[in-house]
Amino acid sequence: MIKITVPATSANLGIGYDTLGMAVSLYSHFTFDRADSLQITGCPEEFQNENNLVYVSFVDALREWGVDPFPVKLHIETEVPVARGLGSSSTCVVAGIMAAAALTGHTVDRAELVRIATAVEGHPDNVAPAILGGAVCSFTPEGDLPRCLRYEVSDRLRFITIIPPYEVHTSEARKVVPQEVPLSTAVWQMGRIAGMTRGLETGDLDLVAAANDDRLQEPYRRALIPDYEDIRRVCLEGGAKTMWISGSGSTLMAATDDTIVAKFLQVRLRENFPACETHILTCDTEGAQIEYL
């Protein structure tokens, strides 16, 4: 029996559309064991079958290695909400692939995990930090494997995470983003991506805030989150330096380097938005982990 723990992720980090992502200290736990028939517990009944994304990823990985699929007993315990912009699907994909390797004795390194997970997920901005930990800038050269640049994130930083009680589906969020932008917008983004990664590394929140001024996706996606403007106002007035949409939303993430400010802001957010779930998170530095039980 094995247990796999995978961190949630915040993709884009505001300025890095489809390129940046960060692992955060919210986790999904998956327990696997070989079985005579497929058994899945810990998730809604409609996902307790062979179409479960964890099991689909498990089977895809086995076939990648030329191994016939086999049934497992799978139990899921997750802190990561579905369709809220925190990489819930990536936790499932990564866990399935890692379980396939562990239960067949197939040795994979993190680069191989990223490659297979990217093929399943479609892009590496969530799966790469879920596997590697830290903040990751990812790109895939034409006809080549994903390239992942991992950055340490200052342990002084705290990320106040606000999860509204409604979904924003990635497919809908992508529809509102323009498919072409002016050259000036592309230039605007490029320098700020470097500023964001450097600011996260050094804990320079003034630099993070200055860099976090996206023109590619947030101006369009914020309209899909009814509470965006009100939450942003409360966060900035409450001491956070900046805020971004996590992935495609609806989760919002604000940043501070003061734990007291983070706790006071969390109280204020709970008072003003009682329907929202809030967490004070740090960057997860380890990425996905496996434990033999």
Residue with tokens 């976090």: 212
Q: What's the DSSP call for residue 17?
A: T
What pLDDT is recorded for position 122? 78
Has 87 been labeled as part of a binding site? yes
The pLDDT, as a whole number, for residue 72 is: 96
Confidence of residue 164 (pLDDT cuts 50, 70, 90): very high
- 19 and 103 belong to one structural domain: yes
Lowest mean pLDDT among 49-58, 113-122, 152-161, 202-211: 113-122
Contacts with 104 (C-beta within 8 Å, 6 or more apart), sequence order:
62, 65, 67
* Residues counted in the chain: 293
Instruction: Tally the domains of the chain.
Output: 2
- DSSP state for residue 14 in the 8-state scheme: T
The CATH number of the domain where 239 resides is what? 3.30.70.890
pLDDT over 80 at 170, yes or no: no
Quick: pLDDT tens for 84-102. 999 999 999 999 999 999 9
- 141 and 6 in a single domain? The answer is yes
Averaged over 54-64, what is the pLDDT? 94
Q: Residues 112, 241: one domain?
A: no
pTM of this structure: 0.91
90 is in an annotated binding site: yes
Q: Are residues 207 and 288 in the same domain?
A: no
Q: What is the pLDDT of residue 167?
A: 87
140 and 22 belong to one structural domain: yes
pLDDT at 119: 87
Same domain, 273 and 288: no
Say if residue 250 is preceded by a cis peptide, omega within 30 of 0.
yes
pLDDT at 94: 96
Q: Of 109-123, 209-223, 248-262, give the lowest mean pLDDT range.
A: 109-123
Kindly provide the residue ranges of all beta strands, DSSP E only, lying in 112-191, ordered along the sequence. Answer: 135-139, 147-151, 158-163
* pLDDT tops 80 at residue 184: yes
Which pLDDT band holds residue 9 (cuts at 50, 70, 90)? very high
User: Average pLDDT of 217-228?
Assistant: 92
Q: Are residues 140 and 230 in the same domain?
A: no
Domain of residue 184 covers: 158-281
Is 71 annotated as contributing to ligand binding? no
pLDDT at 55 over 90: yes
Please give the distance of CA 279 from its chain centroid, rounded to a whole number. 15
pLDDT confidence of residue 124: 85
Cβ-contact 234, 272 below 8 angstroms: yes
**Do residue 220 and residue 98 come from a single domain?**
no
Question: Is 41 assigned to a binding site?
Answer: no
Q: Could you tell me if 67 and 119 lie in one domain? A: yes
CA–CA separation, 243 and 137 (whole Å): 19
42 with 72, same domain: the answer is: yes
pLDDT at 283: 97
> Is the domain of 99 the same as that of 141?
yes
More confident residue, 168 or 260: 260
- The CA radius of gyration of the chain, in Å to the nearest whole number, is 19
Give residue-wise pLDDT tens across range 18-45: 899 999 999 999 999 999 999 999 988 8
Query: Do 255 and 135 belong to one domain?
Result: no
> Binding site annotation covers 105?
no
* pLDDT digits 0-9 by tens, 123-154: 888 999 999 999 999 988 877 788 899 999 99
201: Cβ contacts below 8 Å, ≥ 6 apart = 135, 151, 152, 153, 154
Residue 86 annotated as part of some ligand binding site: yes
Kindly report the CATH number assigned to the domain that includes residue 44.
3.30.230.10
Residue 83 annotated as part of some ligand binding site = yes
pLDDT one-digit tens code per residue, 108-129: 888 889 999 988 887 888 999 9
pLDDT at residue 200, rounded to an integer: 97
pLDDT at 248: 85
pLDDT value, residue 227: 94
